[in-house]
């Protein structure tokens, strides 16, 4: 059994604090950006006839993505997970340093941002989201590690050797579900998506990588929810489904729809 004693604050300047949560988002975006540029360079070199997006275009997209991630992630958490509380405490919405971001909200924010930017420069929306799908697991991994350091989104009771006692979660050992998700939705998903995108050339079929990402993430998230303690104020819907599972079912179906549409378009061409 492990006792959680990590400090969520990396550096405390008194009136200003640098938290691990913020660092995770900053480095997730930076590393993802760098890797996206590498993918763009690699695909352009390997297939000169393939009309790929340029590095400059992706650089210009970054500010849109940052806004989409922050606003989408926060509003998603407010709406999906704790609307009643935040509707009565509106100013608390702006306290991002306290945590409280929704992946599915951030996903929706990224999608909207990519739609706006792709329409602005008249480029296929999926050209961007396919690249984003390859790099997203980097940010997810760092975000889940930050969740662990923050001692939030902890797991259900467990007596396994690596079970963790989290502060403010009762004096019982629990699954480190944040670490499970970091491994599943971060490391495993990264190698899985990039294998098909780069080795199997799925990037050359616009939309396929995006659909595969949605399906794969949803399956891994639904599995990881088996070990995660549901939000106390929400509980389980129909006694079986957490909010994370319900949202993941929606993204799973969306991913299946995209893949079917890509296959249908290929057959018609």
Q: What is the DSSP string of 112-129?
A: HHHHHHHHHHT--HHHHH
Nearest-angstrom CA–CA distance, 184 and 178: 10
Q: Taking each helix axis from N to C terminus, what angle separates 55-81 and 20-46, rounded to the nearest 10 degrees? A: 140
Report the C-alpha gap between 162 and 244 in whole angstroms: 24
DSSP 60-119: HHHHHHHHHHHHHHHHHHHHHH-HHHHHH-GGGGG-GGG----HHHHHHHHHHHHHHHHH
Give ∠ CA 109-111-116 in degrees, rounded to 5: 95
The pLDDT, as a whole number, for residue 191 is: 97
Say what the pLDDT of residue 117 is. Answer: 97
DSSP category for residue 153: S
Residue 120 is predicted with a pLDDT of: 95
Beta bridge partners of 228: 155
Taking the C-alpha atoms of residue 44 and residue 109, their distance in angstroms, rounded to an integer, is 28
Q: What is the pLDDT of residue 48?
A: 44
Phi/psi region, residue 124 (left: phi>0; alpha: psi -120 to 50; beta: rest), is beta
How distant, in Å, are the alpha carbons of 35, 77, 80, 198, 233 from that of 107? 19, 12, 13, 22, 23
The answer to whether the CB of 131 falls within 8 A of the CB of 39 is yes
The answer to whether 16 and 107 are in contact (CB under 8 A) is no
The order of strands in the sheet holding 173-174 is 2-3, 164-165, 173-174
pLDDT for the residue 201: 83
Burial code (b: 16+ CB inside 10 Å, e: under 16) for 220-247 equals bbbebbebbbbeeeeeeeeeebbbbbeb
- Four-residue CA torsion sign, 243, 98, 189, 118: positive
Grouped pLDDT means (10 residues each) for the chain, 269 residues: 89 85 94 95 65 87 96 93 87 78 94 96 94 97 94 94 92 96 98 92 88 98 95 83 95 97 79
**Closest to 32 in 3D by CA, of 61, 72, 1, 71:** 61
């Amino acid at each position: 059994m492990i006792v959680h004693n990590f400090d969520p604050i990396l550096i405390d300047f008194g009136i200003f604090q640098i938290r691990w949560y913020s660092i995770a988002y900053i480095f997730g975006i930076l590393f993802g950006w760098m890797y996206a540029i590498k993918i763009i360079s690699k695909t352009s070199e390997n297939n000169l006839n393939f009309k790929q997006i340029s590095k400059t275009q992706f650089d210009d997209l970054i500010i849109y993505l940052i806004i989409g991630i922050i606003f989408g992630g926060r509003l998603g958490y407010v709406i999906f997970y704790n609307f009643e509380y935040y509707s009565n405490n509106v100013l608390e919405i702006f306290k991002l340093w306290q945590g409280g971001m929704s992946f599915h909200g951030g996903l929706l924010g990224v999608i909207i941002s990519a739609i706006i930017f792709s329409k602005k420069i008249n480029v296929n929306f999926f050209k961007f989201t396919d690249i984003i799908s390859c790099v997203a697991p980097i940010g997810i991994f760092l975000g889940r590690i930050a969740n662990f350091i923050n001692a939030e989104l902890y797991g259900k009771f467990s007596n396994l050797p690596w079970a963790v006692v989290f502060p403010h979660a009762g004096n019982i050992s629990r699954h480190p579900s944040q670490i499970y998700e970091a491994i599943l939705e971060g490391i495993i998903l990264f190698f899985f998506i990039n294998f098909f995108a780069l080795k199997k050339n799925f990037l050359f079929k616009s939309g396929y990588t995006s659909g595969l990402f949605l399906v794969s993430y949803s399956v891994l998230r639904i599995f990881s929810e088996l070990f995660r303690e549901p939000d106390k104020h929400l509980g389980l819907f129909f006694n079986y489904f957490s909010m994370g599972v319900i949202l993941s079912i929606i993204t799973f179906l969306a991913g299946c729809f995209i893949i079917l549409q890509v296959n249908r378009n290929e057959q018609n061409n």
